[in-house]
Amino acid sequence: MQIEEPQKNTEQPDNQTDLDAGGSSLVFGEGDGSFKAAGGEAGLQSLVADFYRIMGERPDARRVHDMHSDAEAVSVDKLARFLSGWLGGPKRYREKYGKIHIPQAHRHLDIGVEERDAWLNCMKEAIDLQPYAPEFKTYLITQLRVPAERSRTR
């Protein structure tokens, strides 16, 4: 599967609404709506575990996986913590690692279009395994294209 080239415009898509487990309305992209739609910290841990497992299994993602293979447990922790704050939940990344600046955090890696797309394809596959509402799955992979593009170093 080929991921479309992200638009140069980094505007967020329209916020979407879903219901949480208690029947309350969640607005993706507002407050902690996206964090809750992802199942909170436990849901993000599941997503990230599936993502790294998939990345380790897919030949097209081997190069990206190997960029972090020496410290995969640290990479798993960093991604789950980043997603928590990025989706409007607790700022777990900042608590442990400090402020993140995505381009600077990835500048030591050789990331181009092929690596970005492999990362996004693995993430889409992992998202599809989660018990998220279909609207949130679409919203999340669309949103993740922005930091994925900002991670490119070439």
Query: Could you tell me the two tokens for 145?
Result: 């294209």
Higher-pLDDT residue of 100 and 21 is 100
Residue-wise pLDDT tens digits, 116-136: 999 999 999 999 999 999 999
Residue-wise pLDDT tens digits, 47-72: 999 999 999 999 999 999 998 756 78
Q: What is the CATH number of the domain that holds 41?
A: 1.10.490.10
The pLDDT value given to residue 111: 96
Answer yes or no: is 17 within a domain: no
Answer yes or no: is 24 within a domain: no
The residue behind tokens 């299994």 is 57
Query: Could you tell me the two tokens for 51?
Result: 């993502």
Domain span at residue 75 reads 31-150
pTM of the model: 0.82
Quote the number of domains for the chain: 1
Query: Could you tell me the two tokens for 129?
Result: 């395994």
Answer yes or no: is 101 within a domain: yes
Q: Report how far apart, in Å, the C-alpha atoms of 99 and of each of 3, 32, 96, 107 are.
A: 29, 19, 9, 16
Average pLDDT of the chain, as a whole number: 87
